Structure 1
Amino acid sequence: MSGVCFFYNSPQFLGQSVYIKRGKNQGKMGRVVRELSDEYYEVSHGDFDAEVLKVHRSDFLVHRYRRVKMPVDRS
Structure 2
Amino acid sequence: MPLDRFLSDIDVTPEQRHVIELAFKSTLRNLNLIDRSDPVCEIVARKVIEIGTNGVSNAVAISEIAYKQLNPRE
TM-score of the superposition, structure 1-length normalised? 0.24
> Relative contact order (C-alpha < 8 Å, sep 6+): which is higher?
2
Larger Rg: 1
